[in-house]
Structure 1
Amino acid sequence: MTKWRIRIVGGSLGGLFAAALLRRDGHDVRIYERSAGGLAGRGAGLVSQPDISSILRAVGCEHVAQIGVVAKERIYFDRDGGIAERYPTPQMQISWDYLYNTFRAFSDGEAYSLGRSVRSVAQDETGALLRFEDGAEDHAGLVIGADGVGSVVREAVIGQPSPSLYAGYVAWRGLFPEQALPKDAAEILLDRFAFYTMPRSHILGYVVAGPNGEMAPGKRRYNWVWYRPAPGRQGLDEALTDAKGQIHRYSLAPGALSQERREGLLSEAAMLLPPPFAAAVGAEPQPFIQAIFDFEAPKMAKDCVALLGDAAFVVRPHTAMGVAKAAGDALALRIRLAESADIESALVAYDRDRRPVGVSIAARGRQLGKALE
């Protein structure tokens, strides 16, 4: 098997998955991550899927699938906070942070470069050239775009600027120590997967592990997600305007929301949500916002550049499949590179394997989110 010089743009889970697998096969792999501070602490919980189990087995870390919190049942509230429906369906939420830290440990030192923002990727007869915002360059036999919803690598594959498309609604989010929940709310919310639906909106909440994988009661965190309409460009810009008046492109980080907007959120929560969820929203001192986007790549690879994870297909979070899809992409790419004599033929097979999967998951996400548009 030929050993390649591989550069990965994007250092979240998709990039880390690919790096861990390809480095094990002897390739020269380096990740370039645009954020200066890293991505630890940004995740909550995720549902285990077969591809996540497969990638954990591939790196000898099956134990990671046991680091999480089990919700013992699903409940649906009525407006007054009573339980309208109850389903005894236990579900494990794996710790995103523990999974991230496990794979981050496989790419330490110079293998993972923080604060390296790639401006563009171009291809020539010898491979791919990465150009950075600071004017530096790097050359590789294979470039993998794992740079998410705002991917800059897409253009090298698709041949034209290919932005993600806004779906017309956003997810307000909270993630805080479970002990911050008021007592009455904690009694009904903890250890349950809770939901409340409204026209063009719904909220859900569940317990996740602590930032370092803590699973003991009192050490965990509560995670809520409230999907709310914000139609059109004006709605998106208003949602993603921070306390200084700056408009962000895809999300608003914890601490960026103005106090005035937080107070407005709490007022609306009290007016619209069942009391337990209104209390959970109030318990988050720094709500943050994730805008919901769609994107489907017409092809996932060209010559010596491949797309992986959200760079190829942005799927809505209702599918609970985003991380698993990235894991499946990384596993398939590894197999095709191992069995092919050259990169181009490997990437043709990779596209054939994974693009139908992305199309299917993206369609499912749009179907699940249609009532929120």
Structure 2
Amino acid sequence: MPPRILIVGGSIGGLFAAVLLHRAGFDVRVTERSVHGLEGRGAGLVAQREVFDILREVGVEHLAHVGVTAHERIYLDQAGAIIHRQRTPQTQLSWDVLFRTFRHLLPDERYHIDRQAVSVAQEPSGARVTYSDGTEERADLVIGADGVGSTLRSAVAGPKSRPTYVGYATWRGLVPEAEVPVSAAGQLFDRFAFYEMPGSHILGYLVPGPDGSTTAGRRRYNWVWYRRYTPDELDGVLTDVDGVRRPFSLAPGRVRPDVAAAMKSDAARLLPPAFAAVVAAESRPFLHAIFDYAPPQMVSGRVALMGDAAFVARPHTAMGVAKAAGDAFALRDALTHTPDMDAALAAYAAERAPVGAAIVAYGQRLGGSLG
């Protein structure tokens, strides 16, 4: 019988690994803690080589052309004048379409939502995951693909293996194209726009609609505003509408109205008019605190980490999805080319650990003026 592989975490990275390993003949199962699934939660992504490689590998290379192209980069001053421009066309693919495609490539019986892992324990020639409902699952290999707040990380990297807050967070919005004021649309659409100020910057660009549509009128405007927060200030903005302090992020609809209103007031005072307008147009802004993390190891026994469960890099790199794709390829290749699983996992870690460390360091350099 083929080895049984359990992947904890069913977002893009976990799906990349699951599809590649399933096609290679492994007995793969994915568990995801989300109760309602992850579709519809993504925006746009800038694809790197590894993403194009995995699209080609599974026969959906046409998705590389399903995106919105920004024909140039522009930099604004606070008054809204364009002070610099670069003719660097760039296409933003749809996270939703990518997720939906890979989810459909994995049989339904191998993907299970509403399964929150709470711990993992090593066993002879395998590992056992315990879920919040008290049930357990054993596998020959458990892969932690459960993101920045990984539950499985401590089993590999130790109990103190938590990402480090770097001093700033991102406010984000995804505004339906039709809701963007005409004056802002005229300046921002079909461009990658930036505004920089001391300790902060904002950027924005069009992305496909939630259904993957790139038709004018059905797209969304994605804006990302980097802002500094002290740890005490972060506690305040990450306390949600129920009064619960969340560790990493707040999803749309979870930001307290007073916090969102204060952020929009700051936008009106600090940002160029077009950016202030798109921030004001977002009815449900969301928030991500930014973290760094590089683990001392990616594998322990029969538990392996991948994606953001392993290395947490700042979003300036635009390499999160590419990093996950690279990890998925390396896992598949190691497990198919090396019959001994322990040797295969060692080969996987030896290949990917230097890559992950380099990406984290790159993000630190790019974010040096903010953190």
Q: Tell me the TM-score normalised to structure 1 length.
A: 0.98
1:150 is paired with a residue of what secondary structure?
A: coil
Instruction: Using the TM superposition, give the Cα deviation of residue 246 of structure 1 relative to its aligned residue in structure 2, in angstroms.
Output: 1.6
Partner deviation per Cα, 1:147-172 (whole Å, 9 max, x = no partner): 00011111221233411111111100
Residues of 1 paired with 2:49 and 2:307: CA distance? 16
2:276 is paired with a residue of what secondary structure?
A: helix
2:293 is paired with a residue of what secondary structure?
A: strand
Does structure 1 conserve the Cα–Cα contact (< 8 Å) formed by 2:299 and 2:349? yes
Match for residue 253 of structure 1? Answer: 251
Q: Which moved more, 1:117-126 or 1:350-359?
A: 117-126
* 1:14 pairs with 2:38: no
Residues of 2 paired with 1:92 and 1:314: CA distance? 24
Residues of 2 paired with 1:215 and 1:265: CA distance? 30
Q: How many pairs align?
A: 371
Instruction: Using the TM superposition, give the Cα deviation of residue 274 of structure 1 relative to its aligned residue in structure 2, in angstroms.
Output: 0.3
* 1:181 pairs with 2:180: yes
Residues of 2 paired with 1:259 and 1:132: CA distance? 34
Q: Tell me the TM-score normalised to structure 2 length.
A: 0.98
Match for residue 46 of structure 2? Answer: 47
Residues of 1 paired with 2:368 and 2:31: CA distance? 35
Alignment of 1:63-102 (within 5 A): 63-102=62-101
Residues of 2 paired with 1:67 and 1:214: CA distance? 8
Match for residue 266 of structure 1? Answer: 264
Residues of 2 paired with 1:159 and 1:47: CA distance? 33
Residues of 2 paired with 1:241 and 1:260: CA distance? 11
* Paired residue type of 2:73: R
Does structure 2 conserve the Cα–Cα contact (< 8 Å) formed by 1:32 and 1:113? yes
Alignment of 1:255-334 (within 5 A): 255-334=253-332
Instruction: Using the TM superposition, give the Cα deviation of residue 78 of structure 1 relative to its aligned residue in structure 2, in angstroms.
Output: 0.6
Does structure 2 conserve the Cα–Cα contact (< 8 Å) formed by 1:154 and 1:161? no
Residues of 1 paired with 2:258 and 2:234: CA distance? 18
Q: Which moved more, 1:35-44 or 1:7-16?
A: 35-44
Does structure 1 conserve the Cα–Cα contact (< 8 Å) formed by 2:175 and 2:278? no
2:102 is paired with a residue of what secondary structure?
A: helix
* Paired residue type of 1:24: R
Instruction: Using the TM superposition, give the Cα deviation of residue 304 of structure 1 relative to its aligned residue in structure 2, in angstroms.
Output: 1.3
Residues of 1 paired with 2:300 and 2:198: CA distance? 43
Partner deviation per Cα, 1:182-241 (whole Å, 9 max, x = no partner): 010000011100000011100000000011110011010000000001122x12211211
- How large is the RMSD of aligned CA atoms in angstroms? 1.0
* Paired residue type of 1:116: R
Partner deviation per Cα, 1:30-57 (whole Å, 9 max, x = no partner): 1110110111111111111111111111
Does structure 2 conserve the Cα–Cα contact (< 8 Å) formed by 1:302 and 1:344? no
1:268 is paired with a residue of what secondary structure?
A: helix
Match for residue 137 of structure 1? Answer: 136
Residues of 1 paired with 2:240 and 2:158: CA distance? 33
Residues of 2 paired with 1:77 and 1:159: CA distance? 45
* Paired residue type of 2:288: Q
Does structure 2 conserve the Cα–Cα contact (< 8 Å) formed by 1:303 and 1:343? no
Alignment of 1:116-265 (within 5 A): 116-232=115-231, 234-265=232-263
* Paired residue type of 1:68: G
Q: Which runs of 4+ in 1 moved over 3 A?
A: none
Instruction: Using the TM superposition, give the Cα deviation of residue 29 of structure 1 relative to its aligned residue in structure 2, in angstroms.
Output: 0.6
Q: Which moved more, 1:130-139 or 1:234-243?
A: 234-243
Match for residue 341 of structure 1? Answer: 339
Distance 1:161 1:152, change over 3 A: farther
* Paired residue type of 1:259: P
2:275 is paired with a residue of what secondary structure?
A: helix
Residues of 1 paired with 2:259 and 2:107: CA distance? 39
Does structure 1 conserve the Cα–Cα contact (< 8 Å) formed by 2:76 and 2:83? yes
Does structure 2 conserve the Cα–Cα contact (< 8 Å) formed by 1:65 and 1:94? yes
Structure 1 unaligned runs (5+)?
none
State the percentage of identical aligned residues.
56
